[in-house]
A and B are shown apart, each in its own frame.
Chain A
Amino acid sequence: ETGVTQTPRHLVMGMTNKKSLKCEQHLGHNAMYWYKQSAKKPLELMFVYNFKEQTENNSVPSRFSPECPNSSHLFLHLHTLQPEDSALYLCASSQDLGTGANTGELFFGEGSRLTVL
Chain B
Amino acid sequence: GESVGLHLPTLSVQEGDNSIINCAYSNSASDYFIWYKQESGKGPQFIIDIRSNMDKRQGQRVTVLLNKTVKHLSLQIAATQPGDSAVYFCAEGSSYKLIFGSGTRLLVRP
* Cα-based distance from A42 to B31 in the complex (angstroms): 20
| Residues of chain B lying within 8 A (CB to CB) of residue A53 | none
**Chain A residues near B98 (CB-CB < 8 A):** 45, 104, 106
Question: What are 14 contact pairs spanning A and B, CB under 8 A?
Answer: A40-B5, A42-B89, A48-B96, A50-B96, A55-B96, A98-B93, A103-B31, A103-B32, A103-B49, A103-B93, A104-B93, A106-B98, A108-B43, A111-B43
A71 within 8 A of partner (CB): no
Query: Is residue A94 contacting chain B, with contact meaning CB distance below 8 A?
Result: yes
Residues A39 and B32 in contact, CB atoms below 8 Å apart: no
**Contacts A42-B100, A56-B97, A99-B96; A105 near B44 (Cβ below 8 A):** no
Hey, which bits of chain A sit against chain B, CB under 8 A?
Answer: 2, 4, 31, 39-43, 45, 48, 50, 55-56, 90, 92, 94, 96-99, 103-111
CA distance A111 to B49 in the complex (A): 23
Q: Which residues of B contact A98 (CB under 8 A)?
A: 32, 93, 95-96
Cβ–Cβ contact B96 & A104, under 8 A? yes
Closest Cβ neighbor of A35 among chain B residues: B100
Chain A residues whose CB sits within 8 angstroms of the CB of B44 once the complex forms: 43, 90, 106, 108
By beta carbon, the residue of chain A nearest B103 is A42
User: Is there a chain A Cβ closer than 8 Å to B60's Cβ?
Assistant: no
Quick check: A31 and B96 within 8 Å, CB to CB?
yes
Q: Is the CB of B45 within 8 A of A41?
A: no
B41 interface residue (CB < 8 Å to A): yes
Q: A41-B102, A99-B95, A99-B96 provided; 12 other pairs, C-beta below 8 A? A: A2-B45, A40-B4, A42-B102, A43-B91, A50-B96, A90-B43, A96-B96, A103-B51, A104-B93, A104-B95, A105-B34, A108-B43
Contacting pair B43 A45 (CB below 8 A)? no
Q: Contacts A42-B101, A105-B49 hold; do A2 and B95 have CB atoms under 8 A apart?
A: no
Report the separation of the CA atoms of residues A98 and B95 in the bound assembly, to the nearest whole angstrom. 5
Measured in the bound complex, the distance between the Cα atoms of B71 and A71 in whole Å is: 35
The answer to whether A2 touches B43, judged by C-beta atoms less than 8 angstroms apart, is yes
Do B43 and A104 touch (CB < 8 A)?
no
How many Å lie between the Cα of A99 and that of B31 in the bound state? 10
